[in-house]
Amino acid sequence: QVQVVESGGGLVQPGGSLRLSCLVSGLRFDDHPMGWFRQAPGKEREGVSCISASGHSVYDGVSVKGRFAISRDNTQNMLYLHMNDLKPDDTAIYYCAVASPGYGVGWPVDPEDFDHWGQGTQVNVTS
């Protein structure tokens, strides 16, 4: 059974930083491209960043480019999202998602292409 568990969300002031983590079990992690998505109240789920299975290719959404960085540790089955210079518009529930081994990462990214999802972790950016 595949399990996807996010952690690291919280309350932060504008300009602050957070690191989100995602632990995946139940599959061969280094075969699977991964992504971070977010959903703010009243809005559709949107892609934040995605990364290839090897970690060599990454793609970021326009709104987070230069501020967020996705990374992975295939030895620990972990995915990360390093978030800097956070803004109130970054407030959302952040989700970690697993794509199938044959998925070709690119942008834009479609949530429908991801098979396994975590429950999400809340990020609130407010002064």
Query: In a structure prediction context, what are the per-residue pLDDT tens digits for the chain, which is 127 residues long?
Result: 999 999 999 999 999 999 999 999 999 999 999 999 999 999 999 999 999 999 999 999 999 999 999 999 999 999 999 999 999 999 999 999 999 998 999 889 999 999 999 999 999 999 9
What Rg do the C-alpha atoms of the chain give, in angstroms?
A: 13
Nearest Cα residue to 22 out of 37, 5, 1, 2: 5
Distance of alpha carbon 65 from alpha carbon 74, whole angstroms: 23
Residue 102: per-residue pLDDT? 86
CA distances from 3 to 24, 30, 96, 109 (A): 6, 15, 11, 22
- List, in sequence order, every residue forming a beta bridge with 22; answer none if it has no partner: 6, 79
Residue 124: per-residue pLDDT? 98
